[in-house]
Amino acid sequence: MTELIFLGTAGFAATRDRDNVSFVLNRDNEIVLVDCPGSVIHKLKKADLDPVSIRALLVTHIHPDHIYGLPSLVHSLMLDDCEFNLYGSVPAVDFCRDYLNMFHLLEKKIKCRVNFRPIKENIRISPLPWLDIHPLRVPHHESSFAYFMKLKTENKRLVYSGDTPEYPPLFKKAAGADYLIHDCSSTSKIFNKYPILYKTHTQSLKLGTMAAEAGIKCLIPCHFFGRKGTSVPGIEEELRRNFSKKIIVPKDLDKIIL
């Protein structure tokens, strides 16, 4: 049984109830962590997960709200004899290595070891025996990857967009996926008010249309803006205008059995 647990669901600005977006896949106490904003240790423990069970960290890109907690994660595990592989694009992995070096967290005295694994677009990786992953570049930042995951035991496909504007190649590759976790930062009203957002993120009305056209079985929006005017119920209402299949609007620490 594989669990999907959201550690955070907000965009770049956290709110009282939502922290920056991050989630884990957990199977038999083997954890794959996706992105690493703040308080990861705290939230894993609130979810009754042991942080030393992290086996892999997938970095989508190197904007602060996705990686600023990395030094804290390793520092918190400095006395634990554990290790994990850090995957991402070449610029993302290089940045994370330099970031940890700034705090001297790759020295021998640090018992938690990080193995840096730069990966290439469309080249499969298998961080654990039960999981295959194919990365796809998305046009948010030069370091940005989306991740296409196959849960081999369940024979299900889960896709995570990371931060991205509307990107047709992603939906073409995701066609028929069992789960699509996608950037859904705000409603069309907010995007029309701030059109610069169209260059970097996705609005709910268009996401519902594209997910329906791609035959997605379950749509999971995330990365909700913590700014005045963004309404999560409003986001869900726009999604449901064009997407008639299952929608899960997650809250922080929500658990989904895949």
Q: Which pLDDT belongs to residue 223? A: 97
> Does residue 257 lie within any of the structural domains?
no
Q: pTM (2 decimals)?
A: 0.96
> Does residue 64 lie within any of the structural domains?
yes
For residue range 150-186, what is the model confidence (pLDDT) as tens digits? Answer: 999 999 999 999 999 999 999 999 999 999 999 999 9
> Does residue 163 lie within any of the structural domains?
yes
What angle separates helix 232-242 from helix 204-213, to the nearest 10 degrees?
30
Of 73, 5, 3, 91, the C-alpha closest to 37 is 73
For residue range 53-96, what is the model confidence (pLDDT) as tens digits? Answer: 999 999 999 999 999 999 999 999 999 999 999 999 999 999 99
For residue range 100-142, what is the model confidence (pLDDT) as tens digits? Answer: 999 999 999 999 999 999 999 999 999 999 999 999 999 999 9
Q: Give the domain CATH number at 217.
A: 3.60.15.10
Q: Which pLDDT belongs to residue 226? A: 77
Across 192-219, average pLDDT: 96
When divided into structural domains, the chain yields a total of 1
> Does residue 100 lie within any of the structural domains?
yes
Cβ-in-10-Å burial (0-12, 13-18, 19+) of 82 comes to middle
CA-CA distance, 215 to 137, in Å (whole number)? 21
Q: Which pLDDT belongs to residue 126? A: 98
Confidence at 227, pLDDT banded by 50, 70, 90 = confident
Share of the chain above pLDDT 90, in %: 97
Whether 224 shows a pLDDT value over 90: the answer reads yes
> Does residue 76 lie within any of the structural domains?
yes
- Long-range CB contacts (within 8 A, 24+) of 95-104: 95/62, 95/67, 95/143, 96/59, 96/62, 96/67, 96/70, 99/67, 99/70, 99/71, 100/70, 100/71, 100/74, 102/71, 103/71, 103/75
> Does residue 164 lie within any of the structural domains?
yes
Across 9-24, average pLDDT: 94
Range of the domain at 135: 3-252
> Does residue 74 lie within any of the structural domains?
yes
